[in-house]
Structure formats: structure tokens, C-alpha cells
Amino acid sequence: MEFLLYLLLGACAGVLAGLFGVGGGIIIVPVLVFSFTLQGFDPQVLTHLAVGTSLASIIFTSVNAVREHQRKGAVRWPVFAWMTVGILIGAGFGAITAEAISGPHLQRIIGVFALVVAAQLALDLKPKASRTVPGKGGLTLAGTVIGWASAIFGIGGGSLTVPFLTWRSVPMQQAVATSSACGLPIAVVSALSFMILGWHDPLLPAHSLGFVYLPALLGIALTSMVFARFGARLAHRLSPRLLKRLFAALLFCVGLSFLF
């Protein structure tokens, strides 16, 4: 039954990855926390396990989403390259930061983040395109901050990267596509860091590779890679306004449940 949940979760995450340029982690992490709680995993490690597994799954989600966006010629590769320099630094430090936070406190932090993202989606808050794309140093600094925060929240960074690029006058479709590309180095570095940091933790359940739970990763990866391409196609055809608001309502409930 749990594996069927992981398959469904992967499908949802894949569509979100392609449609909004997010890695799907904003929904993967809460569902994994609830699932791991029901499975009786230790409260001290289950949130870290959910975050690490989410980040590992985003590797598979990002690959297909980026391929589909690249077919449309929408990825800004020079922007991606310099942001990745910062991401490689920030994501590693983010994983170390998350590992130093207790499981219950990490849940509350993720809950607050879910509420912020819900508000942004529901109210359709977008920064105005008021500045041009920064230089190499500015992109590297932005990548460092986004990589650090993404590793803590277990996300691909889309909810941070897309608004930043939009603010810097990158057209929305290119911002979503470039964000999807940035999600890949975030996921790779963060997932490897979570594996290493949790390698010898005695509280982890069987079939864990550090803070990555392999059965959940397999289920999510199997469906997310297929549905990410579907979501990327939708991003170039549909106005996702209603879906954004429904997604915001779900995140609002998730955020509240993590806080109370």
C-alpha cells in the first residue's frame, strides 16, 4: 500500500515539476512525513529522511522536465551555469544546517515555508520585472542562497528561483525552464550530502541509504519521470491559475498541520 502511495506521489510531483518549475518537493516532503509517521519511523529522523528522499527524487523529476523545456528552447543556459556555481556551495551547507536542526523543529520550519508558498500562489504574488539579469557574481550569490534554502526544505528551488528570475526580467516560460534546470544540481548535491550525513545514524529504518529511503525513492522516480514531461507540455499550453489556487489550498492545510 505504501508503495502505491509513492507511485501516486511521484506522478503528482512530476506534473508540478514540469508545470511550475518546482521539483515537487513542496508536496513530496509533507506526504512522506505523514507516511513515515504512520509506518512508525523514529520522530528524530523521519523529517530528515523525508527531506533527503525528496531531494533524491527531484534528480529524476528534473531530468525529464529539463529535456522537455529544452525542446522548446526555453532554458537560459548561461544563467543556469553561474547560478549552479553558487548552488554547489549553498546546497551542501543547507544539508548541514538541516541535519543540525531537530526533527520536530525542522517540521515547523517546513510548515512556515508551505504557508508562505501557499499565500504566494493563492494571491498570485509576483515580483515585477524591474531589473535586468545580474552578472556572474550576482547569479552565483543568488544560487548560493537558493541552494542553501532548498536543501533545508527538501525542494528543487523553483518556488525561489522562478520569482527571482521573473524579478530580473526573464520571461515566465524561460524562468520556469531555467528553474527546472537549476533543480538538478540542487538535488544532486543536497541528496548526496543527506546520504553522507545520515550514513551511520542508528535510528534509520531498513532500506535507507543515509537520509534517503530507497522504497519511497524508487516509487516516486518511476512515475515522476513520465509525468514531468506531461507537466512541461502543459506549461507551454495552459494557464495554470485554477491549479495554482487548488495547490495553494493543499499547501495551506499542510502548513497548518505541521505547525499545530
- In DSSP notation, 23-79 reads -SHHHHHHHHHHHHHHTT--HHHHHHHHHHHHHHHHHHHHHHHHHHHHHTT---HHH
Of the ranges 21-25, 182-186, 234-238, which is most confident? 182-186
Of the ranges 96-100, 126-130, 168-172, which is most confident? 96-100
User: In this model, does residue 162 exceed pLDDT 90?
Assistant: no
pLDDT computed for residue 21 by the predictor: 58
Query: In this structure, what are the phi and psi dihedrals at residue 103, rounded to the nearest 5 degrees?
Result: -55, -50
- The CA–CA distances, whole Å, from 132 to 13, 54, 143, 162 equal 31, 33, 16, 14
Cα distance between residue 173 and residue 101, in whole Å: 36
Task: Give the burial string for 106-125 (b: 16+ CB within 10 Å, else e).
Answer: bbbbbbebbbebbebbbeee
Helices (H) and strands (E) in the chain, counts: 10, 0
CA neighbor of 199 nearest in space, from 109, 101, 99: 99
Q: What is the average pLDDT across 16-27?
A: 69
Q: pLDDT tens, 68-101?
A: 788 888 899 999 999 999 999 999 999 999 999 9
Percentage of the chain exceeding pLDDT 90: 46
User: In this model, does residue 179 exceed pLDDT 60?
Assistant: yes
Q: pLDDT tens, 37-77?
A: 989 999 999 999 999 999 998 888 788 778 878 888 889 99
Ramachandran quadrant class, 7 (left: phi over 0; alpha: psi -120 to 50; beta: rest)? alpha
Look up the pTM and report it: 0.86
Cα distance between residue 214 and residue 196, in whole Å: 15
- Cβ-count burial of 240 within 10 angstroms (0-12 exposed, 13-18 middle, 19+ buried)? middle
Band of pLDDT at residue 242, cut at 50, 70 and 90:
low
- Tell how far CA 218 is from the center of its chain: 17
Query: In this structure, what are the phi and psi dihedrals at residue 213, rounded to the nearest 5 degrees?
Result: -95, 110
pLDDT computed for residue 191 by the predictor: 95
Band of pLDDT at residue 28, cut at 50, 70 and 90:
confident
- Residue 28: CB partners within 8 Å, gap ≥ 6? 9, 13, 50, 53, 54, 57, 58, 154, 220
pLDDT computed for residue 243 by the predictor: 65
Task: Give the burial string for 141-175 (b: 16+ CB within 10 Å, else e).
Answer: bbbbbbbbbbbbbbbbbbbbbbbbbbebebeeebb
What number of CA atoms fall less than 13 Å from residue 178's CA on the CB side?
A: 27
CA neighbor of 191 nearest in space, from 57, 5, 9: 57
Q: pLDDT tens, 182-212?
A: 999 999 999 999 999 999 899 999 999 999 9
Band of pLDDT at residue 143, cut at 50, 70 and 90:
very high
pLDDT computed for residue 23 by the predictor: 57
